[in-house]
Amino acid sequence: MSHRAYTWEYRVEVKPYDKIVDVLEAFFASYPAGDYTCERRETYRLQFRRGEWRKSLFGLGNLVPAALPKGAFNRWPVIVYVLVRPSPETFLVTIRYEVHLPRSIPMLIPEVQDSVNQHCLKELDDLAVYLAECTGMPQKPPVRTQ
């Protein structure tokens, strides 16, 4: 049986910027409440992992969630996918959070799902401020839910 995952997806539009992937990587790699590790980097894609993960049975196989520490979202097993779609007028940045559940937790109740959304939106508001600062935008771009 595989581990269950929940996803939340958001979008941010920014003006074209040639170092956008570097800026996105720098934000997540240095975000104080995140402790993200960049697992994969491609031309317009990034993948980050953070939280409490452990090797599966006997240390073999993929990393699996260890726990969902109550009140400590920054330690939850999360994967963040960042995709940049460039165009001449605007870059569309899509950020998808996946919260992976340990087998001991069959599902997230709606209140917890809403709480995760609020944590993600807070983090992405900080990202929007950072993007505006790095790209020279006069104000932060809005974060839209998918």
For the chain, the domains span 5-141
Taking the C-alpha atoms of residue 7 and residue 92, their distance in angstroms, rounded to an integer, is 19
Mean pLDDT on 5-9: 96
Count CB neighbours of 15 within 10 A: 14
Residues 6+ apart with CB under 8 A from 39: 47, 48, 49, 79
pLDDT of residue 20: 96
96 closest CA partner among 80, 109, 84, 83: 80
User: What local confidence, expressed as pLDDT, does residue 58 receive?
Assistant: 66
pLDDT tens digit sequence for 29-68: 999 888 899 999 999 999 999 999 887 766 666 788 988 9
pLDDT band at 1 (very low <50, low <70, confident <90, very high): very low
CB neighbour list of residue 13: distance below 8 Å, 6 or more residues apart: 90, 91, 92, 93, 141, 142
Question: Could you tell me the two tokens for 86?
Answer: 């460039």
pLDDT at 35: 84
Class in CATH terms, 5-141: alpha beta
Q: How far is CA 106 from the centre of its chain?
A: 22
pLDDT at 24 over 90: yes
Taking residues 119-127, what's their average pLDDT?
96
Please write the tens of the pLDDT for every residue from 69-118. Answer: 888 888 999 999 999 999 999 999 999 999 999 888 889 999 999 999 99
- 31 φ, ψ to 5°? -70, 120
Q: How many CB atoms lie within 10 A of CB 85?
A: 12
What is the C-alpha to C-alpha distance for residues 25 and 28, in angstroms, rounded to an integer? 5
